[in-house]
Amino acid sequence: MKILLTGATGYIGKRLLPVLLEQGHEVVCCVRNKDRFPKEGVYTDPKISLFQVDFLQEPPSSEAIKDCDAAYYLIHSMSSGSDDFEVLEERAAKNFISLVKPTSIQQIIYLTGITNEKKLSKHLASRKNVEEILDRSGIPVTAIRAGIIVGSGSASFEIIRDLVEKLPVMITPKWVNTRSQPIAIRNILEFLSGVLLKKETFGKGFDVGGPDVLTYKEMLLQFAEVRNLKRYIFTVPVMTPRLSSYWLYFVTSTSYKLAVNLVNSMKVEVIAKDNELEKMLGIKPISYKKAVDLAFQKIEQNNVISSWKDSLASSYQDNSLLDHINVPTDGCFFDKREKLIKGDPNKVLQNIWSIGGKNGWYYGNWMWKIRGIMDKMVGGVGLRRGRTHPHRINTGDTLDFWRVLAADKKNRRLLLYAEMKLPGEAWLEFNICEKDGKHYLRQTATFRPKGVAGRLYWYSVLPFHFFVFDGMAENLLETDRTIEKADA
């Protein structure tokens, strides 16, 4: 069968793709920018083809996907942090319908949220609205409605992990007593792949959840048990939604706007209604503790396939991030370093590909950490996003407070774009080039200031740049170094 997969570079899409390929399907991956699609491993499978489309814009011709049999709709925009994500989600859904209506698609499979409560958060109400839009298309829809998804790299997993591992004692808002029904990521993939072109699921919605109904407090404590940590949680009734959002924002790797949306959703009970889907597909739900344990097995094996932090939502309002691959030259400040590589250039390349996250920035990591704290204080992303894998980088990944615009290992080039709060725009580029039979490391920091504030900012940090950037370039050349030495 030929399957159309939207959200192919998102958290769920990256995990569902290998499952569909293993089942023998051809998969057309919808991507907003083909350059963002990974170019190694499973992503080079000949059964994969790419279809470039931005669902916030008028959709292109459907000719290239006219013979698809089914489509997965995995587009969500809450992670974009936009204030009007409901409008964006509605627009994306309508454009998706316009795209697939002329095709031979027999089924739309939509992963959404459980919406059984009368009073819903903006996030859940938007998901319900999208489901209704898809239903009106005339193409049979199978809605898989889930609550918290537990898996390595998932938003809920990483937020709970941040809280549990960083705070021995937690003073929490009263929404930690709200009940939910978490479900393991592998169960989600089983449900999504299991309903594919299964006619008895056409035109129906199914709530899916794990075997445990838990409060958020119970999830935090059980997570701590799995990690052999003793944690104490005290609930107070006086913490306002705004304070709750700030609490999540400063302790975890989430953005403030996403924290606001999460807090609003956490006030709503998310419990699945009974249905026959588990029995129909022969799926045995995994317990919450087991799901957490399985997630850490993936983390310890450095086998995290996808992370919510790497996802640029297809309904992300600011599409300009994808246009920054051409680094400007006019009206910019530069810090350029060129160093002769005396050792193996491939080992220098591996150092470059290991930069950031727990590996650090090879020089003055304490200064990078201070910069991350300063960024958090003014509403930025800070350093807590880290990186998904210690040695692999794909275009589009997050790298602390940078976004990877180009990760071209064949041509030995890594280009990063700053997502920290700045009075301007910043790029950091690493190249290994060859001339006169010798290899050189070229490291270039580019800053395009906005107004007087941008120029003042550049000159104020210039003394630090001299030490940090030069030290970083020198340490990248150490081909016999271990990653642990990065803090030196």
User: According to the model, what pLDDT value does residue 484 have?
Assistant: 43
Q: Could you tell me if residue 317 is inside a domain? A: no
The dihedral formed by the CA atoms of 75, 291, 296 and 156, expressed in degrees to the nearest 10: 40
User: According to the model, what pLDDT value does residue 385 have?
Assistant: 74
* 280 plus 420 within the same structural domain: no
Number of domains in the chain: 2
Q: Could you tell me if residue 119 is inside a domain? A: yes
Q: For the segment 27-53, what is each residue's pLDDT rounded down to a tens digit?
A: 999 988 787 787 777 888 999 999 999
User: According to the model, what pLDDT value does residue 485 have?
Assistant: 41
Which residue positions in the chain have pLDDT lower than 70? 77-83, 239, 241, 255-256, 258, 261, 301-324, 384, 480-488
Q: For the segment 107-151, what is each residue's pLDDT rounded down to a tens digit?
A: 999 999 998 888 888 888 888 999 999 999 999 999 999 989 998
* 196 plus 305 within the same structural domain: yes
Name the helix (H) or strand (E) containing 28: strand 26-31
Neighbours of 75 (CB within 10 A): 24
HSE, side-chain direction, 13 A CA sphere, residue 129? 18
Q: Among 259, 279, 310, where does a domain finish?
A: 310
User: According to the model, what pLDDT value does residue 301 have?
Assistant: 66
User: According to the model, what pLDDT value does residue 316 have?
Assistant: 40
Please tell me the pTM assigned to this model.
0.75
User: According to the model, what pLDDT value does residue 308 have?
Assistant: 58
* 303 plus 211 within the same structural domain: yes
Which residues constitute the domain of residue 128? Answer: 2-310
Q: Could you tell me if residue 315 is inside a domain? A: no
Q: Residue 340's domain is classified under what CATH number?
A: 3.30.530.20
Q: Is 300 exposed, middle or buried (0-12, 13-18, 19+ CB in 10 A)?
A: exposed
Q: Is 261 exposed, middle or buried (0-12, 13-18, 19+ CB in 10 A)?
A: buried
Q: Could you tell me if residue 405 is inside a domain? A: yes
Name the helix (H) or strand (E) containing 372: helix 365-377
* 237 plus 368 within the same structural domain: no
* 305 plus 353 within the same structural domain: no
At 234 the three-state DSSP class reads strand
* 345 plus 420 within the same structural domain: yes
User: According to the model, what pLDDT value does residue 317 have?
Assistant: 42
User: According to the model, what pLDDT value does residue 358 have?
Assistant: 84
* 305 plus 447 within the same structural domain: no
